[in-house]
Amino acid sequence: MILVDTSIWINIFNLKHFAPLDLNKISIWATCPPVIQEVLQGINSDKAFNTIKEGLCALPCFNNPLSLDEYLLASDLYRLARKKGKTVRSSVDCLIAAIAIINDIPVWHKDRDFDVLAEISNLKIHKLH
């Protein structure tokens, strides 16, 4: 199972060319509340919004509802990165990383914040090249 970040969904919805993961190794895509929020808030068309919302909500969804533990870990990740001289641009990415760490699942992404978070924590990632 893999947690698919917003950056991947944007590539999929914009039909950009990319080399997907070997789906024989990872058979289930998953999501989490912050990814659903990020994806849906960027959709202009009501029809597309409803279709994508239905599809995302049909995926396995980790940590719904979120507990204080995810937020505390996210703040720890952000602070640790700063202490190590690294910049994380999005606190939402820290929250997504915290969810992935707590559930021991990798994040599939195309967002440099996850590279930084993987450097300073035990976050597992698969990067879209």
b/e for 71-105, b at 16 or more Cβ within 10 A?
eebbeebbeebeeeeeebeeeebbbbbbbbbeeeb
Looking at the predicted structure, is the pLDDT value of residue 82 above 90? yes
User: Which residues form the domain of 111?
Assistant: 2-127
pLDDT tens digits, 67-80? 999 999 999 999 99
User: What pLDDT does residue 36 have?
Assistant: 98
Give the count of domains, the chain.
Answer: 1
pLDDT tens digits, 6-59? 999 998 888 765 555 555 555 699 999 999 999 999 999 999 999 999 999 999
For residue 113, the domain's CATH number is 3.40.50.1010
